[in-house]
Amino acid sequence: MSDSKLSTLSLAAAVAGAVSMAAMTVPSTASAAGKEKCYGVAKVGENGCANAAGTHSCAGQSTVAFDKGEWKLVAEGTCVEMGGNLEPGEGVNEEAKMKAG
């Protein structure tokens, strides 16, 4: 295989990978229906997308469990029951940590 064909294939694979990863990190409208952002309930690596502090911009990058600046989608109306908040905060959410066990 020539170098130019290999480069073209490599570029195509890289673009396809980037597009598929972007699609995984942004919830579609259909999957977000009946859901709400719940802050302070995500475990390490289980956050939705960018955090409130702006220290990262992708899903799965949280490094502190129950960080009040991290969110994940939960069924609508269940966030507060889980000990979470509908608005971001600072620090660790001890209430959600206790409820999670």
Q: Residue 99 pLDDT more than 80?
A: yes
More confident residue, 13 or 81: 81
Q: Measured between alpha carbons, how far is residue 8 from residues 37, 39, 51 in Å?
A: 40, 43, 36
Q: How far apart are CA 50 and CA 56, in angstroms?
A: 6
Residue with tokens 């396809």: 16
Residue 44 is classified by DSSP as: T
The answer to whether the beta carbons of residues 67 and 90 sit under 8 Å apart is: no
Most confident of 4-8, 11-15, 34-38: 34-38
Mean pLDDT in the chain? 80
Q: What is the pLDDT of residues 15-29, one digit of tens each?
A: 555 444 444 444 445
* Collapsed DSSP state (helix, strand, coil) of residue 36: strand
**Segment 40-60 mean pLDDT:** 91
